[in-house]
Amino acid sequence: MQAPQSVQPAHREANHHRVHKLKGKAVDLLYALFRYALVIGISFIIIYPLLMKFSIAFKDKADIYNPTIYMIPVHYTMDNIRMAMQILDYFPLLGNTLLFVVVTTVLTTASCALAGYGFARFSFPGSNILFALVILTLLVPTSTLMVPMYLHFRSFDIMGIIHLFTGRSGINLLNTYWPSMITSATAIGLKAGLFIYIFRQFFKGMPKEIEEAALIDGAGGVKTFLRIMLPNAVSPMITVILFCFVWQYNDTFFTSLFMSEIALMPTKVSSLAAQANALLPGLLGVGGGSGVKADPNHVAMIIDTGILLAILPLITLYMVVQRYFVESVERSGIIG
Amino acid sequence: MRGSKLSLNHKRSWLGVAFITPWLLGFVFMFAAPLIQSVKFSFSKLNVDPSGFTLEWVGWSNFNNALFVDATFNRVLTESVRDMVLNVPMILFFSLFSATLLNQKFRGRVLARAIFFLPVILASNAISAAEASGLINLVGDATAVNELGQSGSQYNVMSMVMILSDIGLPLSFVDYIVDAILRIYEIITSSGVQILIFLAALQSVPGAMYEVAKIEGATAYESFWKITFPLVSPLILTNVIYTIIDSFTGSKVTQMIFTTAFTTQNFGLSAAMSWIYTLIISIVLIIVGYFLSKRVHYN
Convert the pLDDT of each residue in A273-283 to its tens digit.
777 777 777 77
pLDDT at residue B184, rounded to an integer: 79
pLDDT in tens, B139-191: 444 444 444 444 443 455 667 677 777 777 777 777 777 777 777 777 888 88
Nearest CA in chain A to B135: A300
User: Which of A145, A269, A335 is nearest residue B34 as measured by Cβ atoms?
Assistant: A145
CA distance A120 to A126: 13
**Cross-chain Cβ contact A122/B127 below 8 Å:** no
CA distance B36 to B227: 46
H helix or E strand, kind and range, residue A317:
helix A296-331
pLDDT at residue B150, rounded to an integer: 44
Residue A149: partners with Cβ closer than 8 Å, 6 or more residues away? A179, A257, A258, B30, B34
pLDDT mean over B88-100:
90
Residues forming a β-bridge with A335: none
Chain centre to alpha carbon of residue B210: 32
pLDDT range class, residue A330, cuts 50, 70, 90: low
Structural domain contains residue B265 = yes
In the chain, the amino acid numbered B79 is E
**Cross-chain Cβ contact B52/A39 below 8 Å:** no
Nearest CA in chain B to A266: B126
Q: Which of A88, A144, A257 to mutate to test the interface with B (most CBs of B within 10 A)?
A: A144
In terms of C-beta density within 10 A (0-12 exposed, 13-18 middle, 19 or more buried), how is residue A255 classed? buried
Whether the pLDDT of residue B60 is over 70: the answer is yes
User: Which of A67, A121, A186 is nearest residue B30 as measured by Cβ atoms?
Assistant: A186
pLDDT mean over B31-45:
88
**Cross-chain Cβ contact B23/A114 below 8 Å:** yes
User: Which of A145, A191, A251 is nearest residue B35 as measured by Cβ atoms?
Assistant: A145
pLDDT mean over A311-329:
80
pLDDT mean over B282-290:
88
User: Which of B20, B137, B262 is nearest residue A296 as measured by Cβ atoms?
Assistant: B137
Q: Which of A124-128, A161-165, A330-334, B142-146 has the lowest mean pLDDT?
A: B142-146
- Which domain covers residue B75, as residue numbers? 60-123+190-299
pLDDT at residue A6, rounded to an integer: 52
pLDDT at residue B143, rounded to an integer: 47
In the chain, the amino acid numbered A328 is S
Instruction: State percent of chain B over pLDDT 90.
Output: 2
Q: How far is A67 from chain B (nearest CA, A)?
A: 9
Q: How far is A296 from chain B (nearest CA, A)?
A: 5
**Mean pLDDT score of chain A, rounded to an integer?**
81
Alpha helices in A58-160 (DSSP H): 79-88, 90-121, 127-139, 142-154
In this structure, how many other beta carbons lie within 10 angstroms of the beta carbon of residue B227?
Answer: 17
Structural domain contains residue B46 = no
CA distance B264 to B64: 18
In the chain, the amino acid numbered B200 is A
pLDDT range class, residue A159, cuts 50, 70, 90: low
Whether the pLDDT of residue B241 is over 60: the answer is yes
Alpha helices in chain B (DSSP H): 8-26, 33-42, 61-64, 73-103, 109-116, 118-122, 125-138, 142-154, 157-167, 171-182, 184-189, 192-203, 207-215, 220-223, 229-250, 252-262, 267-295
pLDDT at residue B136, rounded to an integer: 54
pLDDT at residue B85, rounded to an integer: 85
Instruction: State percent of chain A over pLDDT 90.
Output: 9
Q: How many domains does chain B have?
A: 1
pLDDT range class, residue A123, cuts 50, 70, 90: confident
Whether the pLDDT of residue B29 is over 50: the answer is yes
CB A169 within 8 A of CB A163: yes
**Cross-chain Cβ contact A145/B143 below 8 Å:** no
pLDDT at residue A98, rounded to an integer: 92
How many Cβ pairs within 8 Å bridge chains A and B? 280
CATH number among 1.20.1290.10, 3.10.105.10, 1.10.3720.10, 1.10.10.10, domain A89-270: 1.10.3720.10
pLDDT at residue A109, rounded to an integer: 93
Q: How far is A266 from chain B (nearest CA, A)?
A: 5
Structural domain contains residue B50 = no
Instruction: Tell me the residue length of chain A.
Output: 336
Residue boundaries of the structural domains of chain A: 2-57, 89-270
More confident: A2 or B281: B281
**Cross-chain Cβ contact B137/A270 below 8 Å:** no
CA distance B202 to A258: 40
CB B57 within 8 A of CB B256: no
Instruction: State percent of chain A over pLDDT 70.
Output: 87
CB B274 within 8 A of CB B126: no
pLDDT at residue A104, rounded to an integer: 93
- Angle at B271 (CA atoms; ends B265, B272), nearest 5 degrees: 115
pLDDT at residue A1, rounded to an integer: 43
What number of CA atoms fall less than 13 Å from residue B184's CA on the CB side? 10
pLDDT at residue B152, rounded to an integer: 40
Whether the pLDDT of residue B221 is over 50: the answer is yes
First to last CA, chain B: 48
More confident: A111 or A190: A111
Q: Which residues of A touch B129 (CB under 8 A)?
A: 252, 269-270
CA distance A102 to A108: 10
CA distance B142 to A297: 9
pLDDT at residue A102, rounded to an integer: 94
Instruction: Tell me the residue length of chain B.
Output: 299
Q: How far is B133 from chain A (nearest CA, A)?
A: 6
CB B51 within 8 A of CB A155: yes
Q: Which residues of B touch A221 (CB under 8 A)?
A: 12, 15, 18-19
pLDDT range class, residue A289, cuts 50, 70, 90: low
Which string of b and e fits A269-282 if b means at least 16 CB within 10 Å?
bbbbbebbbebbbe
pLDDT mean over A146-167:
74
pLDDT in tens, A8-67: 666 777 777 778 778 888 888 898 899 899 899 888 888 888 888 888 888 887 777 777
The candidate with the shortest Cα–Cα distance to A135, out of B109, B23, B201, is: B23
Q: Which of A156-165, A207-216, A249-258, B1-10 has the lowest mean pLDDT?
A: B1-10
**Cross-chain Cβ contact A141/B281 below 8 Å:** yes
More confident: A285 or B212: B212
Rounded to two decimals, what is the model's pTM? 0.82
pLDDT mean over B3-24:
78
pLDDT mean over B205-225:
85
Evaluated on CA atoms A14, A15, A16, A21, the torsion sign reads positive
More confident: B200 or B4: B200
**Cross-chain Cβ contact A143/B274 below 8 Å:** yes
Domain CATH code at residue B219: 1.10.3720.10
Nearest CA in chain B to A301: B134
Structural domain contains residue B9 = no
Nearest CA in chain B to A196: B23
More confident: A334 or A28: A28
| Interface pTM, i.e. ipTM | 0.80
